[in-house]
Amino acid sequence: MKRAVYPGSFDPITNGHIDIIKRASKLFDELIVAVLVNPAKTPLFTVEERMELIKESLNNMPNIKVDNFDGLLAHYVSKIKADVIVRGLRAVSDFETEFQMALMNKRLNPDVEIVFLMTSYEYSYLSSGVVKEVARLGGDVSGLVPKCVEVKLLERVGRR
């Protein structure tokens, strides 16, 4: 059985993330969407809230699990006995950072493979940071995030 991990902060999950998740879920027997606990960042949503929003957004897709981790991704992948790390690429600018992280993860865990999936063109400009900024400044985020995320996001930034 091929088990893959799609890690990220998902603060909040966007339709770009959902696109990668749906496509990756077709490639692997099991896909674990792993929410990173990063003490260096101040997220808008708690880890628990992000996990719940991801679960609600995915409507219980059968081969997808949602989990969280802190520390090194390479250690987490070893711990859960995953074979592959999935990463999404929006543009060439993402590649340099992702390539560097992939090489470090490969060094730390030589048994893991890293697979890059290109984001669908309609989401190539999309990031959680952009979505939060648009929401904070009164813009329309419909179509950028799942409806359940839109509702919570607008509540969190004081627009509902």
The catalytic residue positions are 17, 41, 90, 128
- CA-wise closest residue to 33 among 141, 101, 14: 14
- CA-wise closest residue to 35 among 48, 22, 24: 48
Q: For CA atoms 148, 3, 101, 23, give the dihedral sign.
A: negative
What is the b/e burial string over 62-76, where b = at least 16 CB atoms within 10 angstroms of the residue's CB?
eebebebbeeebbeb
- Residue 25 is encoded by which pair of tokens? 């879920």
